[in-house]
Amino acid sequence: MNINDFIVQVALPEHRVFAEEICEEMAESAKARGTGIAKRSPDYVAGKMSEGKSVIAFHKDGSWAGFCYIETWSHGQFVANSGLVVSPKFRKVGLAHTIKEKIFELSRQKYPKAKIFGLTTGLAVMKINSDLGYEPVTYSELTQDEEFWKGCQSCVNFEILKSKDRKNCMCTAMLYDPATQKHDVAKKFAEELQRKPKLYERFMRIKQRLVLKPKSDDKGGLKSILQLSSLFFK
């Protein structure tokens, strides 16, 4: 089985019959990772399909294989490609990367001036994002739209986010800014992730220990994390 066995396309209204299966897999995947995502109902997912704001993948035998959708924040100034999920039986063939490329392309078409961002704990997603031109950023550079941050309430780490006044958490924030013509930082970050995955995993463990420090002991915590990152990836 390889990527040529799949069809990846903009979802259509008739694909709403897969909405419940997609939501179930989103929940199971979040549970397996030990993290949470904003819980979405089948009606919400179906709405994204009807609006032309999602991408769906099928195996050549007709089985549902993967999904991702677009959300907009701050009056369209920020866009997030959310809910990326791949059916367990179709993983490890590069399907997630292909879906991300397609939803990124769709986002750029619909919102050419918007900044595209994401929060993730997954090394694989960070690598995909870096390949697309996303760069690691601080949380302050993301949308401050309250509706977006409410989506974090279903995550097991939400109390950590609150204790840090939304300045940091377990996830790494990544951003694609269309106003930046050269994404040299993203390119370098992607190359380093490819060359030093074990080192990056170590960095993430150190970051998590810093994030979990009590707030009273957290002076300069974010600065320390960024300094660690620069030491690991130079």
Q: Which helix (H) or strand (E) holds 146?
A: helix 146-150
Residue 26 lies in a domain: yes
Residues 232 and 127 in one domain: yes
In this prediction the pTM is 0.79
* Residue 154 lies inside a defined structural domain of this protein: yes
- What pLDDT does 215 receive? 57
Q: Which domain holds residue 4?
A: 1-70+81-103
**pLDDT tens across 125-168, in order?**
888 898 898 988 999 999 999 999 988 887 888 898 999 899 88
Do 63 and 125 have their domain in common? Answer: no
Residue with the larger pLDDT of the pair 227 and 127: 127
- Beta bridge partners, 82, equal 69
Domain identity same for 143 and 208: yes
pLDDT value for 31:
76
Q: How far apart are CA 67 and CA 48, in angstroms?
A: 11
> Is residue 98 domain-shared with residue 128, that is, in the same domain?
no
CATH number at residue 60: 3.40.630.30
When mean pLDDT is compared across 18-27, 100-109, 194-203, the lowest value belongs to 194-203
- Dump pLDDT digits (tens) for 7-24: 999 999 999 999 999 999
Per-residue pLDDT, 81: 94
Q: Tell me, what's the pLDDT at 34?
A: 65
Crossing angle (nearest 10°) for helices 123-132 and 184-195: 140
Higher-confidence position of 27 and 220: 27
For residue 5, is it within any domain?
A: yes
Pick the more confident residue, 94 or 222.
94
In angstroms, rounded to a whole number, what is the distance separating the alpha carbons of residues 125 and 117? Answer: 12
Q: Does any domain span residue 14?
A: yes
Nearest to 171 by CA among 129, 230, 199: 129
191 and 85 in a common domain: no
Predicted local confidence at residue 184, as pLDDT: 64
Number of domains in the chain: 2
Structural contact between residues 203 and 178, judged by C-beta atoms closer than 8 angstroms = no
In a domain, 52, yes or no: yes
Give the pLDDT score at 27. 87
Using one digit for the tens of pLDDT, what is the confidence trace for 28-75? 887 777 665 667 899 999 999 999 999 999 999 999 999 999 999 999
**d(C-alpha 23, C-alpha 30), whole Å:** 11
How high is the pLDDT of residue 117?
95
Give the pLDDT score at 227.
Answer: 46
Q: What angle do CA 37, 60, 20 make, to 5 degrees?
A: 35
126 belongs to a structural domain: yes
Close Cβ partners of 160 (under 8 Å, ≥ 6 residues apart): 169, 170, 211, 212
pLDDT above 50: residue 201: yes
Which pLDDT does position 200 carry in this prediction? Answer: 67
Does residue 148 sit in the same domain as residue 97?
A: no
Query: What are the tens digits of pLDDT across the range 2-11?
Result: 999 999 999 9
| Average model confidence (pLDDT) across the chain | 84
